[in-house]
Chain A
Amino acid sequence: MTDTHIGNGFVPSGQLQLGVFFQGVNSGTVWKSAESGSQTDFESFRRIAQTAERGLFAAFFLGEGLRLREHLGRPHALDVAGRPDAQTMLAALASVTSSIGLVATQNTTYNDPADLAHRLASLDLLSGGRAAWNVVTTDNAWTGANFRRGGYLDHADRYVHAEAFVTTAKRIWDSWADGAIASSPAAAAWAAPGSARPVHHEGKHYTVDYVPRLPRSAQYRPVLFQAGDSPEGRDFAARQADVIFSAHPKLDDALGFRRDIVQRTVNAGRGANDVKIMPASEFILAATPEEALEKKNWVRSLQIGPEQAVAYLEQFWGRELQEFDPDGPLPEIDPVVEETSETRGSGFHGAKAKQLADQWRAEAKDKGLSIRQFVSARTSRGDSSFTGSYTEVADRLAEYARTGAVDGFNISPWLIPTGLDDIVNHLVPELQERGVYPTGYAGSTLRENLGLATPVRQPDSVGVEV
């Protein structure tokens, strides 16, 4: 039996929130179907955001790309590539939505803290307190080739740097005194003198000397999301973030992750319920379990076609493998490099290629899998996907809510722009019937809708050297 005890004073809300991740680049997005629309037209974004809002979703997410992914030294031709700038798109969506949160993935390495904090504050005010920042770190010079700063950050420094960056941003957001702005045109001044406190930070990588230009929003400051899953990433999130969306999809794992995060959050001097957990997941749903399974096979066949399967192996073999039959066994030839050259931007780093190839060949032979079947199984989001009928998936999700394993899910639709329709039309009502999903927005800000506490202002101190 599952041990549902969390400890440290954690109280399950018994409720779930949903977010939607508009997928840009990756192999999870089905573009080969006739139903697949444009990945860049504004109408695609509007449709998903407005559908999500109809389904009372808490948040709409956008990723960030700072360099196109490459495969064997050229831009990667097989997967969806190219996407709009996150904050620009979210500012546009702010004018055609009224309640859904707007989450921008933004990098701490290739942005300037004052510029990024100002833009997020601006999005927060434009949207009436609905902005959030998904904090990500990068440290590779390859991405840095598009930026003035270049690749200046050591891997080991990235969380130290990110934390200094986030702290500086929070101080910028907290810098205007409440009630600083005049309440009438007859006042002595528009803003009381000295009501905007300058922010100074001096660090190893940059200095900031800045007079902030914006007051606090209706939600005080943008909500912070974070996905790091390493011990450093978890501690960073426990100190700084409001929401984590690392995926620990099996209920036991999810409960273990929750216990760990609660412990780290309490250790960081925060409340046991202060950090929400909303793992990224994929939903494949239908009226019956059989139809859902059939749909899953169809989705997988479009996500990993023959070309994608071979290209996946090429990333590790470090050479072209076009002569191999995708429906045949894994290549008997060995990888050409000792250390795999990473497929740029995909997150594969430095696995020992020969060793990996031997392992995979043995595994595929053992299970009787072709290249395509092997890659499909390997890249499957099996663990983080929910496949089934609306009722059975709703039952499973209700269990996550009851135990407090998670606070909700971030859904990555595999189809644009209609990929949320069945979730909003069929799954959401089932969840509402079970009493685990809201029947209206709790408030007007993202912070209220996620049930987050009012943030504590950053202390008035100047920045510390890092």
Chain B
Amino acid sequence: MNTTSTNAPRQGFLALELDGDGAHPAAWRKARHTPAELLDGTRVRATVLAAESAGFHVATFADGSLPAASSDAGGRDIPGRLNALQRAAFAGPVTGSIVLVPEVDTVYTEPFHISTQLASLDYVSGGRAGWLVAASDKVADAAAVGRSHVSGEGLGREAADSVEVSRRLWDSWEDDAVIRDVATGRYIDVDQLHYVDFESTVDFESAAGAGYSVKGPSIIPRPLQGQLPVLVPAGLLNADQLSAGAADALLVSAPTPELLAGEAAEARAAAPGAAIIAELDVVLDSRGQSAAGRLAELDAYTPWQSSRARFVGSAAELTGLLASVLETADGVRLHPAVLDVDLEELAQLVLPALRRRGLLATPQPGSTFRDLLGLQRPASRYAAATISASSAADH
């Protein structure tokens, strides 16, 4: 992360989850559009532009099947959702600085497709793409694609495998593989393309069906960032998988807002190389109505079950909380109860106050997600192998 001189405060970043009409299952009742207008491009454009102009650094897009609010923490009133990767891609050309991070499942989605879709997202967003790794534990998601249900340890294995395949495929074209050499008639330099020869790990009890292999190379040249930053919920991957470099950032949850900073510190100790992003539900006072009153009104329609810490209060109190969490975490991801209402308060009161205190990184047009995370653009692992082999031979 970007650390400045010792006297200046740490500068962090803020991410905003843009799913549906907000994180509260009954958010649609307070949205400023008709229910059917939720599922179209106009709404995607409006929310991501509002997030960018408010000064959010990152927009995330949830994906997957939607359980009913009564059956599941995170469940919704709304059974409909557009594909997350496509929403992020749609937002790419109409935004200029905000980072676009879709959630993509790793258990029931073909790794080759995921890899090329995410690489394409990096192209259409000018290097502002990331990947929020999900590992579905839902029986319904297995049934949709006719596969056996994966649970427990298996989820982490599937996720780690999927990330590893994607990373290899992103590296499978070296940066300068497209040479367009008119003299020899060669469009690509074949020596700079590599098979990835990935074999999945299947030696665990809950392995669902046979393993798989991916030959490669990718069908798209290396992404603009070389490697897209990969965000993983803390707890999904074990220590070995983390130390192998699967995650560039960990998403950290706590039972209460007060406990978030402690959880962030623990996660940093477990994964020193990864950025730490704290998860927070948010309900703010708005237009003369208290946050607690707003929440009670929404809960009267559908109670909000969430596994995340929840802040309910004024903009000033939230500013204080975020300042304190950003002392230990690199970023915070906010899940506003109602986008149309809470985003306005965040934009007008919270983000300006944090900026005045020098706590937020300044979004830079043209910079990449890796730049925001303070990550170098890596060389392709295959190029590195070629170079180290040849330099070893020199000695």
Interface residue? B143 (CB, 8 A): yes
Contacting pair B91 A82 (CB below 8 A): no
**Cβ contacts A198-219/B at 8 Å (1 or 0 each):** 0000000011111101110000
Contacting pair A183 B185 (CB below 8 A): no
Contacting pair B146 A96 (CB below 8 A): no
Interface residue? B388 (CB, 8 A): no
Residues of B within 8 A of A308 (CB): 185
Contacting pair A126 B86 (CB below 8 A): yes
Interface residue? B111 (CB, 8 A): yes
Interface hub of A40, A92, A306 (most chain B Cβ within 10 A): A92
Q: In whole angstroms, how far apart are the Cα atoms of A91 and B40 in the complex?
A: 12
The tally of CB-CB contacts under 8 A between chains A and B is: 212
How many residues of chain B are within 8 Å of chain A by beta carbon?
A: 72
Interface hub of A82, A118, A308 (most chain B Cβ within 10 A): A82
Interface residue? A157 (CB, 8 A): no
How many residues of chain A are within 8 Å of chain B by beta carbon?
A: 73
Contacting pair B90 A66 (CB below 8 A): no
Residues of A within 8 A of B145 (CB): 112, 114-115, 206, 208
Min Cβ gap B148→A in Å is 11
**Cβ contacts B197-225/A at 8 Å (1 or 0 each):** 00000000000000011111111110000
Report the stretch among B187-195, B325-333, B378-386 that lies at the interface: B187-195
Residues of B within 8 A of A146 (CB): 112, 214-216
CB within 8 Å for A95 and B78 given contacts A84-B120, A88-B117, A181-B36: no
Residues of A within 8 A of B295 (CB): none
Contacting pair B93 A65 (CB below 8 A): no
Contacting pair B112 A66 (CB below 8 A): yes
Contacting pair A68 B217 (CB below 8 A): yes
Report the stretch among A8-16, A72-80, A313-321, A402-410 that lies at the interface: A72-80
Residues of B within 8 A of A83 (CB): 219-220
Contacting pair B79 A94 (CB below 8 A): no
CB within 8 Å for A92 and B90 given contacts A115-B144, A214-B80: yes
Contacting pair B89 A92 (CB below 8 A): yes
Interface residue? B81 (CB, 8 A): yes
Contacting pair B112 A82 (CB below 8 A): no
Residues of A within 8 A of B78 (CB): 190-191
CB within 8 Å for A214 and B82 given contacts A40-B220, A185-B30, A307-B184: yes
Contacting pair A128 B40 (CB below 8 A): yes
Selected contact of B140 from candidates A87, A211, A305, A307, CB within 8 Å = A211
Residues of B within 8 A of A103 (CB): none
**Cβ contacts A100-133/B at 8 Å (1 or 0 each):** 0000000000111011001100110111100000
Contacting pair A148 B110 (CB below 8 A): yes
Contacting pair A82 B144 (CB below 8 A): no
Min Cβ gap B84→A in Å is 9
Residues of A within 8 A of B36 (CB): 181, 183, 215
Q: In whole angstroms, how far apart are the Cα atoms of A32 and B86 in the complex?
A: 33
Interface residue? A442 (CB, 8 A): no
Selected contact of B146 from candidates A67, A125, A206, CB within 8 Å = A206
Contacting pair B35 A78 (CB below 8 A): no
Contacting pair B188 A185 (CB below 8 A): no
Q: In whole angstroms, how far apart are the Cα atoms of A95 and B79 in the complex?
A: 24
Contacting pair A82 B86 (CB below 8 A): no
**Cβ contacts B292-322/A at 8 Å (1 or 0 each):** 0000000000000000000000000000000
Residues of A within 8 A of B182 (CB): 32
Task: Give A57-77 interface residues, CB cut-off 8 Å to B.
Answer: 65-68, 74-75, 77
Report the stretch among B4-12, B51-59, B121-129, B229-237 that lies at the interface: B121-129
Min Cβ gap A429→B in Å is 29
Contacting pair B220 A122 (CB below 8 A): no
Contacting pair A181 B35 (CB below 8 A): yes
Selected contact of B185 from candidates A81, A122, A307, CB within 8 Å = A307
Contacting pair B40 A209 (CB below 8 A): no
Closest A-chain residue to B178, C-beta based?
Answer: A82
CB within 8 Å for A208 and B144 given contacts A183-B34, A191-B80: yes
Selected contact of A210 from candidates B119, B144, B184, B218, CB within 8 Å = B144
**Cβ contacts B10-49/A at 8 Å (1 or 0 each):** 0000000000000000001111001110011100110000
Q: In whole angstroms, how far apart are the Cα atoms of A305 and B180 in the complex?
A: 13
Closest B-chain residue to A25, C-beta based?
Answer: B219
Min Cβ gap A104→B in Å is 11
Residues of A within 8 A of B117 (CB): 85, 87-88
Interface residue? B92 (CB, 8 A): yes
Interface residue? A184 (CB, 8 A): yes
Contacting pair A65 B39 (CB below 8 A): no
Interface hub of A74, A82, A125, A190 (most chain B Cβ within 10 A): A190
Interface residue? B65 (CB, 8 A): yes
Residues of A within 8 A of B256 (CB): none
CB within 8 Å for A184 and B34 given contacts A95-B91, A189-B77, A213-B66: yes
Q: In whole angstroms, how far apart are the Cα atoms of A148 and B39 in the complex?
A: 31
Min Cβ gap A33→B in Å is 9
Q: In whole angstroms, how far apart are the Cα atoms of A213 and B79 in the complex?
A: 6
Task: Give B130-186 interface residues, CB cut-off 8 Å to A.
Answer: 140, 143-146, 173, 178, 180, 182, 184-186
Interface residue? A46 (CB, 8 A): yes
Closest B-chain residue to A146, C-beta based?
Answer: B112
The interface of chain A, by Cβ under 8 A from chain B, is: 31-32, 40-42, 46, 65-68, 74-75, 77-85, 87-89, 91-96, 110-112, 114-115, 118-119, 122-123, 125-128, 145-150, 181-187, 189-191, 196, 206-211, 213-215, 305-308
Would you list 20 pairs from A and B whose C-beta atoms are within 8 A, ordered by A residue? A40-B123, A42-B126, A68-B193, A75-B190, A80-B187, A85-B119, A85-B120, A85-B220, A91-B90, A92-B124, A94-B90, A119-B83, A146-B112, A181-B35, A206-B146, A207-B143, A207-B146, A210-B143, A213-B66, A214-B39
The interface of chain B, by Cβ under 8 A from chain A, is: 28-31, 34-36, 39-41, 44-45, 65-66, 77-83, 85-87, 89-94, 108-113, 116-117, 119-121, 123-126, 140, 143-146, 173, 178, 180, 182, 184-190, 193, 212-221
